Amino acid sequence: MIDPNWELVDLDPRTWRAIGQYFPPGQYIRAGSPDEHGLFVLHERGDVLNIVDSQSGRRGDLGIESVSDPSALANELHARGEWDRVHVIDRAHLQSVAATAQDATGRTLQLDQYYRRVAELVWGDGEGYVAVPPKERSWNGWTYEGIEAIVLQIQEPASVALAVIGDDGLVIGLIAEISDGMIRKVTTFDAFPAELRPGEISLPALDRVWRQLSDRFSPPAVVMLCSPALFDRWVCGPEKRRTIEAALEVGEAVVRQRDWAPLFPGMATPV
Amino acid sequence: MAVTLSNQGLVVDGQHVPVYSGSVHYWRLERALWPKILDQVIELGFGMVETYIPWSTHEIEPGVYDWGSIDDRKDVEAFMRLCEEKGLWLMVRPGPLINAELTDFGFPAWVLDDPAVQSRTASGSVHYDAAWGLHPPKPFPVPSYASEVFYDAVGGWFDQVMPIINRHLAPGGCIVAVQSDNETCYLFHDQPYATDYSDASLALYRQFLSERYSSIHELNAEYRTDHPAFADVEPPRDCGVAGAADLPLHLDWVAYKEHQIRWSVARIARMMRERGLQGVPVFHDIAWQIVTPLDVGRMESDPDIDWVGMNLYCNQDDYRTVARRMRFLAGVTKLPFVPEFGCGLWSHHHRTFLPEEHEFVTLSALMNGLKAINFYMLVERDRWQGSPIDRHGEYRDDYADFYHRLSAFLRRYPLWEYERDASAMLMLGFDISRHARMMTTLNVAHADLLGLPKELFDIEPDLGLRWDPRFESDYNRSDNWIGQAAESLKRRGIAYDLGDTHVDPKRLDQYDTIYLQTIDFMDPADQEALLGYVEDGGRLVIGPGMPKLDPRLRQSELMARFLSEPGRTDMGRGELVWSETEQLRDVVDSLDGHAQFRLEDSPVELSILRRNEDTLLFLANPTSEASEAVVRFDGEHRFESVWSVNSAVESKDELAVAIEGYSVRVFDVTPPAEARGAR
């Protein structure tokens, strides 16, 4: 999905800070959110090695000496209502995952594929790493497969742009160039004279961005201008499609896309 | 040497040159823009720049080098000449390890793909680097720094790059310092049993053992084994400590991991010198670690390594880390140096520094003892965000403003000529940290990706110790002995540096008092060195325990010969004091008087920097809330605010200062006008 030699240039610091709160890359494979209250039971093929509460540290008081049924134990502990999530982890499973992930084929994978492989190995065996409630298989409704499918549909060189415009001006201005189903370049509006005025979410503004994108990058495929609140609801909330449809109706977003572009099927203003 | 180190910076041909520098990656910038970019660097107030010289960028195929003939941005010698034309000094870092968000961290792929080069994990698998985000583009095999095949390849690279560097050495040329490797530490997998179990590493480990023990019989006696030869000794691949008898094997492995780092950095430095590098210091940068497997004190003592710095990438809410690292550098190194001071961040970091964070973190570091600094990256490039100069040579005005002001401030107050008022050192017990770090079963890759709590893998065998090494060695706590010492000194306004028991003993006589963390055990050699400090007139305060064992838990009483219970005793020209944690606050109160300037109870941090008669008072508010600090002192002084706010006031006995959240105020403190007139 990402070109190994992708260009990542001219990153406007304020855009990058603004999107950083949504996408902390170092944490996307985490078992649980850093701010949730978790209980972690580490065992080695049934023999308990350690139990740690993410808030209070080691818990030797729970009276758990062995793990015969990891799922049953995790469910039982979670039912006490003390923790947001309970993790029961077989150390032998982690060792097996590490050895498998670090075999020679690892070198052939792109990093995103590699991380996915690690995640599949960790979570693929139901008894090796049990979490109750289970680890979400999507991030706020977004899946790797879903995003990859969208990117794969863009074969001819094309650009996509997103402008999140608040009352004080541009909050996020992001541009990607894609071809052959791979993201080749990511940049921001840093060196891009879009001159968007505060709160300017309008078709004339969309026209300007579209035109300027055409002048400087590959032919545009999708451009969206929206408010910060809409962006937040779209990225983090459920019902992605309905969120955009409602925003388009009330002018909280404007979108233009080629008819073949896959991001907002049937919704956006055609070119 | 044409270029030597001083405690203020570099001395080039007899002239003092401050290390006030910024990173510029020539090969990532349009060649035509180099002059404009360097002019902008100079206009921003800098007289020195720094660059990597990345191996894989120049050796594009095995044995084929591009020094600008194919891609004109790669003409590093033209970049050096341009620095010379513009009067800029230059520090270079030719690796072999680079990082810099480069593909394979700047190693040529064919080098890494040779199995004879690759590190191995405890399970025998290839050790891939793939942690903490998007190090592009693929996981890569981590090279073993014990591999002779690796060093052969490095030698081939150095054969090409060192002649270029040598042609531009100061004082005739621009290059004033060269770095040996970069953040050498098993590619961030610093847990003791994670790596490196390659054949080459095991051979080096056995060599290390053969130098540590006079014979295999001595080792067998220590390990309670019957190995026929050193070649038969197998290292631990996990923590299997159940009792004291298991300690020698594990402690030796942990010590070997430290040795491999030091040995390889020194070897790479020698390889440079064997190819003609002379007359300039060779330095190394540590990523962040102040405990095993890094050993800063011993690395600085290595004759092949002139100078050791430590990198710093901190957001504004991490003042404690900034202060701790700077005080550690001030305590342990010859010239407190940050070779990579976060000036912007790599693109996959999610908390881009804002301009005000640059200001707060930089001033916080300077007030805690930083004297030599390289802003990384002063000029932005691909896969980087938040620098004051973009890759087109234009200022990001909101970011550049701080560097303009800082340069002007440093022209008036060259802080590298000032000394922090630190009369005490807090000393960490290196062996206590070794014990704590040794007791983990975290020997699998990718546990860091999962975000599991580290203590999940801790083990706590019953070794019969009264004091817990893990608890006492945790320098983030305030309820252990070292934490209590820090709190007590702060309360009295007494500035302190940090150090550990491997610091060069010659550095200790600058401190009136050393507060030394001790528990049941301590290396007898370290005890001897510190008793020497006491004999020579120092005051040594130890605790919470009196060591009566060595790190392998064999009987060994040195300090214990002088005190059988908490208390004080005179020794030579100095004094030995033993205090348990609960009494430490009273002991500090009884030993150290009030500092000249001290704060009322406040979250604000105070620091005094002096140069002869000049005094600068720094106040930092490390919280998000505005605060008012009340500074107490005796008599009358004039306080001229010389950072951000321009004002002056004369005060007697106290000064109230309003400080915004995450900001620093700086005052030039002088006697009142009347007294100055009289003087």
Q: What are chain A's domains?
A: 2-24+144-270 (3.30.1050), 29-132 (no CATH)
User: How distant is the Cα of A203 from the closest Cα of chain B, in angstroms?
Assistant: 30
Q: Does A182 touch chain B (CB under 8 A)?
A: no
Asked if the Cβ–Cβ distance from A107 to B390 is below 8 Å, we say no
Q: Choose from B129, B134, B140, B351 for mutation: most chain A CBs within 10 A.
A: B134
Which residues of chain B make contact with A115, given a CB cutoff of 8 A? 130, 449
CA B538/CA A143 separation, integer angstroms: 63
**What pLDDT band is residue A193 in, cutting at 50, 70 and 90?**
confident
Chain A stretch 62-91, residues whose beta carbon is closer than 8 A to a beta carbon of chain B: 87, 89, 91
Asked if the Cβ–Cβ distance from B446 to A16 is below 8 Å, we say no
CA B610/CA B615 separation, integer angstroms: 5
**What pLDDT band is residue A267 in, cutting at 50, 70 and 90?**
low
User: How distant is the Cα of A128 from the closest Cα of chain B, in angstroms?
Assistant: 14
Asked if the Cβ–Cβ distance from B126 to A58 is below 8 Å, we say no
Q: Which helix (H) or strand (E) holds B177?
A: strand B175-179
User: How distant is the Cα of B354 from the closest Cα of chain A, in angstroms?
Assistant: 8
Q: Which helix (H) or strand (E) holds B113?
A: none
Chains A, B: CB contacts within 8 A come to 159
pLDDT tens digits, one per residue of B542-601: 999 999 999 999 999 999 999 999 999 999 999 999 999 999 999 999 987 778 999 988
Supply the pLDDT for residue A229.
97
Q: Which of A40, A102, A104 sits opposite B452 (nearest CB)?
A: A40
Q: Are B71 and B57 in contact (CB under 8 A)?
A: no
pLDDT of A271 above 90:
no
Quickly count: other Cβ atoms within 10 Å of residue A241's Cβ.
12
Asked if the Cβ–Cβ distance from B126 to A102 is below 8 Å, we say yes
Q: Does A106 touch chain B (CB under 8 A)?
A: yes
Q: Which chain B residue shows the shortest CA-CA distance from A191?
A: B392
Q: Look at the block and give the residue holding tokens 């320098």.
A: B475
What are the structural domains, with CATH classification, of chain B? 3-196+235-418 (3.20.20.80), 198-233 (no CATH), 422-591 (3.40.50.880), 598-678 (2.60.40.1180)
Angle at alpha carbon of residue B177, lines to B174 and B180, rounded to 5°: 135
Asked if the Cβ–Cβ distance from A7 to B458 is below 8 Å, we say no
Asked if the Cβ–Cβ distance from A107 to B352 is below 8 Å, we say no
**What pLDDT band is residue A35 in, cutting at 50, 70 and 90?**
confident
Supply the pLDDT for residue B378.
98
Q: Which of B121, B138, B457 sits opposite A50 (nearest CB)?
A: B457
The residue among A104 and B63 whose pLDDT is bigger is: B63
Q: Which helix (H) or strand (E) holds A234?
A: helix A228-236
Asked if the Cβ–Cβ distance from B344 to A13 is below 8 Å, we say yes
Q: Are B235 and B166 in contact (CB under 8 A)?
A: no
Q: Which two tokens stand for residue B644?
A: 């951000």
Q: CA dist B464 to B233, B473, B545, Å?
A: 28, 17, 14
Chain B stretch 101-120, residues whose beta carbon is closer than 8 A to a beta carbon of chain A: 103, 113
CA B399/CA B406 separation, integer angstroms: 12
Q: Does B677 touch chain A (CB under 8 A)?
A: no
Q: Are B80 and B34 in contact (CB under 8 A)?
A: no
Positions of chain B with pLDDT under 70: 130-136, 445-449, 674-679
User: Is residue B534 packed enough to be buried (19+ CB in 10 Å), middle (13-18) or exposed (0-12)?
Assistant: buried
Chain B stretch 117-136, residues whose beta carbon is closer than 8 A to a beta carbon of chain A: 121, 123-128, 130, 132-136
Q: Look at the block and give the residue holding tokens 């950095």.
A: B265
CA B316/CA B304 separation, integer angstroms: 36
Q: Are A224 and A254 in contact (CB under 8 A)?
A: yes
Q: CA dist B414 to A270, B372, B410, B606, B665, Å?
A: 62, 11, 5, 19, 17
Q: Which of A58, A91, A111 sits opposite B135 (nearest CB)?
A: A111
CA B540/CA B532 separation, integer angstroms: 10
Tell me the average pLDDT of chain A: 89
Chain A stretch 3-32, residues whose beta carbon is closer than 8 A to a beta carbon of chain B: 3-11, 13-14, 16-17, 20-21, 23-27, 29-32
Q: Choose from A111, A122, A171, A184 for mutation: most chain B CBs within 10 A.
A: A111
Average pLDDT for A220-227: 95
User: How distant is the Cα of B93 from the closest Cα of chain A, in angstroms?
Assistant: 23
Asked if the Cβ–Cβ distance from B390 to A13 is below 8 Å, we say no
3-state secondary structure of B374: strand
CA B655/CA B127 separation, integer angstroms: 57
Phi, psi of A210 (to 5 degrees): -60, -45
Rounded CA Rg of chain A = 23
Which residues of chain A make contact with B456, given a CB cutoff of 8 A? 40, 42, 50, 52, 89
Q: Which two tokens stand for residue B416?
A: 């590298």
User: How distant is the Cα of B230 from the closest Cα of chain A, in angstroms?
Assistant: 28
CA A117: distance to chain centroid?
A: 16
Asked if the Cβ–Cβ distance from B446 to A97 is below 8 Å, we say yes
User: How distant is the Cα of B125 from the closest Cα of chain A, in angstroms?
Assistant: 6
Asked if the Cβ–Cβ distance from A30 to B449 is below 8 Å, we say yes
Which residues of chain A make contact with B441, given a CB cutoff of 8 A? 49, 91
Q: Which helix (H) or strand (E) holds A40?
A: strand A38-44
Asked if the Cβ–Cβ distance from A101 to B445 is below 8 Å, we say yes
Nearest partner of B488 among B596, B566, B622, B594, judged by Cα: B594
Instruction: Tally helices (H) and strands (E) across chain B.
Output: 19, 30
Average pLDDT for A148-166: 93
Supply the pLDDT for residue B679.
47
Asked if the Cβ–Cβ distance from A57 to B455 is below 8 Å, we say yes
Chain B stretch 364-423, residues whose beta carbon is closer than 8 A to a beta carbon of chain A: 380-386, 390-392, 396, 399
Which residues of chain B make contact with A89, given a CB cutoff of 8 A? 452, 456
Residues 6+ apart with CB under 8 A from A242: none
Asked if the Cβ–Cβ distance from B138 to A114 is below 8 Å, we say yes
Q: Which two tokens stand for residue A197?
A: 């005025």
Q: Does B454 touch chain A (CB under 8 A)?
A: no
Which residues of chain B make contact with A107, given a CB cutoff of 8 A? 113, 126, 128, 138-141
Supply the pLDDT for residue B447.
65
Chain A stretch 188-247, residues whose beta carbon is closer than 8 A to a beta carbon of chain B: 190-191
**What pLDDT band is residue A191 in, cutting at 50, 70 and 90?**
confident
Q: Choose from A95, A103, A112 for mutation: most chain B CBs within 10 A.
A: A95
CA A109/CA A102 separation, integer angstroms: 11
Q: How many residues does chain A have?
A: 271
pLDDT tens digits, one per residue of B472-509: 999 889 999 999 999 999 988 999 999 999 999 999 99
Q: Are B116 and B144 in contact (CB under 8 A)?
A: no
Which residues of chain A make contact with B353, given a CB cutoff of 8 A? 13
Q: Which chain B residue shows the shortest CA-CA distance from A19?
A: B350
Q: Does A130 touch chain B (CB under 8 A)?
A: no
Nearest partner of B290 among B263, B315, B258, judged by Cα: B258
Q: Are B391 and A10 in contact (CB under 8 A)?
A: yes
Q: Does B288 touch chain A (CB under 8 A)?
A: no
3-state secondary structure of A269: strand
3-state secondary structure of B610: strand
Nearest partner of B260 among B158, B363, B150, B388, judged by Cα: B150
